[in-house]
Structure 1
Amino acid sequence: MSLDKTTGLLKKAREWWTTKIIDIRPGIIRIKGTPIQDLIGNVSYAHMVWLMTRDDQPTPEQAALLEAALVSAVDHGPQAPSIAISRMAVTCGLPLNGAMASAINVLDDVHGGAGEQCLELFNRIARHPAGLSMDDTVTAVLDEYVAEHGKIIPGYGHRFHPVDPRAIRLLALVDAAAKQGVVRGRYADIGRAVEAALAQRASSKLPMNIDGATAVVYGELGFEPAMARGLFILSRSVGILAHAWEQKQQGGRIKGPMPPDIDYTYTGA
């Protein structure tokens, strides 16, 4: 092979993958231009999440708000399908990585996607043409959303919690951050306006849940809706790991979703 052809192939190989995230050479590791040794011990994990997924550095206050959202969604008990799957997977012989992968794979549109869907809804309200009041804008966008997706509004109501304590705390942190000028508070206003509109429609309160509250946080911090799901998965992975590890310590073999002496309902002929 000629030298020119070899040089061309090497150039093509180097250009096959491009990234502005990390620069690695012998003895050098830089994340977005910052040496890794300057980050280790000096920034939080939430700061690193921001740095890896964005093109800017967070302020300490922004990183703290992101961290609060990540902490809020780590776990919701074995009744959550993803958590249950991680525990069942361990009893079927899978190692931790297999149990985590099995659980994360079910975090899709129905179980895991509400935060992304809610932030998409909030963005539609935020982008609505000027001239309408907040209440009229929310009404119009909710009508559009229900016509497209059905009556379930992501981010509101909870099958276990009449009021979601996680949402209350996150909204309080957003309010405090807005007073300090860290965020604008626009998404908090939108979230509360949607909550009020839903209460009028249902003639009963339908409070914001954890998915709605994290959507508020991620919207205030400028994350795209798809990232809201990714960040939720990152957060919930901690709970998945913890439950898989706990089940590994407890032992058990081929545990199904219910004890074997509790039968299912047969509906066939």
Structure 2
Amino acid sequence: MTIRRPTEGPEKDVSDWWKTAIIDMEPGKIAYHGYPIEELIGNVSFTQMIWLMVFGELPPQNKAALLDAALMSAVDHGPQAPSIAIARMASTCGVGLNNAMASAVNVLGDVHGGAGEQAVALYQMIDNIAAEKPLTFQDAVTEGLSEYKELHGKFIPGFGHRFHPVDPRAPRLMELVAEAKASSVVEGRYLDIALEIESQLASSKGKPIPMNIDGATAVIYAELGVPAELARGLFCLSRSVGILAHSWEQMQQGGRNKGPIPRDLLWTYDGSARRAVKKSD
């Protein structure tokens, strides 16, 4: 069978049905955004490859290192995280790794998994306000927070954590961003915005509301020019590592049909009392 790429006529219309600038592939040839795969192998890291696939260019090593830190820092948060718990439960149902992973990734939505995207959008909103209005930096952050609350409610994504008084991942990531800013790898605008949000939240609440992993990775994504919606996709890539690890571990541990609570405990029932079915006349 001869495989070819039509250049004219009706067959060209068929070939044009799908268009992509990502991969050029034909027998004996694979290239991503113009780079031959054989040259990429051994010279480009997985994180650099993610950047190339998404943005179309190979990243500078220092920017790739920031992306790598963001991706590795959010891989897992234990079985209390719904996505991880679902992965483990699915594994006890006799499905394969791909099924368990898909089940878990499918729950990474607005509430569980969406805060990073939302934080990027918040930072970008504030950055636009600061650029367009004659306000001090602090007032621009205040106005941005107010607008965000009007649109989305009082919850500010990326700050505070239900388990950690201080999320241990966030300060280290901010150290890396600060170092990158000092070396002119990134501008640091979004770092400054996030730190000012943290300060204003502490003042308004009367107690610290520290940045969490979502707020910290959002700083990195925003500094690297990642669109807000794409930030969620990157988080899904990151969390997939933990999902894979927990799915595999559960398969090794065994167990069948494990639900969300042990079998000797029953859920709370708050419906109608026991009642008889009335027989019809």
| Band the TM-score falls in, shorter-chain normalisation | over 0.9
Residue 179 of structure 2 aligns with an amino acid whose one-letter code is A
The separation in 2 between residues aligned to 1:222 and 1:57, in whole angstroms, is 14
Q: 2:215 aligns with which of 206, 209, 212?
A: 212
Q: CA deviation at 1:57?
A: 2.0
Q: Which amino acid aligns with 1:187?
A: Y
Shift of 1:130: 3.2
Instruction: Give the 3-state SS of the residue equivalent to 2:30 in structure 1.
Output: strand
Name the counterpart of 1:54: 55
Query: Does structure 1 residue 259 correspond to structure 2 residue 253?
Result: no
Matched, 1:76 2:77: yes
Matches of residues 30-179 of structure 1 in structure 2 within 5 Å? 30-128=31-129, 129-179=132-182
Structure 2 partner of 1:3: none
* Larger mean Cα displacement after TM superposition, 170-179 or 125-134: 125-134
SS for the counterpart of 2:257 is coil
- Residue 56 of structure 1 and its aligned partner are, at CA, apart by 2.5
Query: Which of 250, 253, 259 is the matching residue for 2:253?
Result: 250
Unaligned runs of 5+ in 1: 1-6
CA shift for structure 1 position 37: 0.6
- Output aligned runs, 1:194-233, within 5 Å: 194-233=197-236
Q: Residue 8 of structure 1: CA displacement?
A: 3.1
Shift of 1:150: 0.9
1:56 alignment partner AA: E
Tell me the C-alpha RMSD between the 2 structures. Answer: 0.9
Which runs of 4 or more aligned residues in structure 1 lie more than 2 Å from their structure 2 counterparts after TM superposition? Answer: none
What is the count of residue pairs matched by the alignment?
A: 263
Q: Secondary structure at the match of 1:23?
A: strand
Matched residue, 2:30:
29
Q: TM-score, normalised by structure 1?
A: 0.96
Tell me how far apart the structure 1 counterparts of residues 232 and 172 of structure 2 sit (CA, whole Å): 20
Measured in 1, the distance between the counterparts of 2:18 and 2:24 equals 12
Matched residue SS, 1:222: coil
Amino-acid identity (%): 60
Distance in 2, Cα, partners of 1:200 & 1:122: 19
SS class of match (1:170): helix
Instruction: Report the alpha carbon displacement of residue 257 of structure 1 after superposing the two structures with TM.
Output: 0.7
Alpha-carbon distance in structure 1 between the residues aligned to 2:138 and 2:264: 53
Distance 2:35 2:150 in 1: 48
C-alpha distance in structure 1 between counterparts of 2:144 and 2:70, whole Å: 26
SS at match of 1:30: strand
Q: Displacement of 1:55 after TM fit?
A: 2.9
1:135 shift after superposition: 1.1
Q: Which has the larger radius of gyration?
A: 2
Q: Distance in 1 between matches of 2:136 and 2:81?
A: 38
**Alpha-carbon distance, 1:9 to partner:** 2.7
